A and B are shown apart, each in its own frame.
Chain A
């Protein structure tokens, strides 16, 4: 079975600074996708970024980028120029064959002004 591990329960960053959230995963599948989702206090999960495992190039979405290390099964999220609105719970998720997402336990991100 696939597993996703987020080892940082909580992180803090100063506004306008950069922060990196860590994620590792385990799978025996050869083709898969990885995601970062944001969950604000409203509870509604929002897709931040998606990475296809067969693509070597790291995905980027504006201030959000990933560092995907396939051999190490590592998938970290970098948030640049952090904003107060970035404060939320962030979940790393895996999708292999099939339709379900497998989530990590989450990292709470606090942004200090």
Chain B
């Protein structure tokens, strides 16, 4: 596609529920990233995929968070037993080859705003 797309744009859920957030990267990009942006803060890294595998998941806050990219394209971020503190904008980015964040430009999607009531 022309750019990174994310669905849904907004998601409202209740505490304790399960949610899935989807990211569709730029066609041909092998690297994909998830970031979380809490209100009034900058994005924080969650996880990085190279192809189908999670190359770095050091930013996932706890075991309620999980992400997959089964075919090396679309990725889904899954949050179990949501808590009010999970409310944030979840941003996805993709880059051409994962050669390093310095030179391999990350292109961001518009994010999904998750609200946990």
Q: What's the nearest-Cβ distance from chain B to residue A3, in Å?
A: 11
Would you list 17 pairs from A and B whose C-beta atoms are within 8 A, ordered by A residue? A6-B42, A42-B110, A43-B111, A93-B42, A95-B100, A95-B101, A98-B56, A99-B55, A99-B100, A100-B33, A100-B48, A100-B56, A101-B35, A101-B43, A101-B106, A105-B41, A106-B42
Q: CB of A59 within 8 A of chain B? A: no
Interface size class of B (residues with CB under 8 A): 20 to 34
Chain A: interface residue total (CB-CB under 8 A): 26
Interface contact B45-A33, CB-CB below 8 Å:
no
Q: Which B residues are CB-close (under 8 A) to A104?
A: 42
Q: Which B residues are CB-close (under 8 A) to A95?
A: 100-102
Binding site for A on B (CB under 8 A): 3, 31, 33, 35, 40-45, 48, 55-56, 59, 89, 91, 93, 95, 98, 100-106, 108-111, 113
Interface contact B44-A99, CB-CB below 8 Å:
no
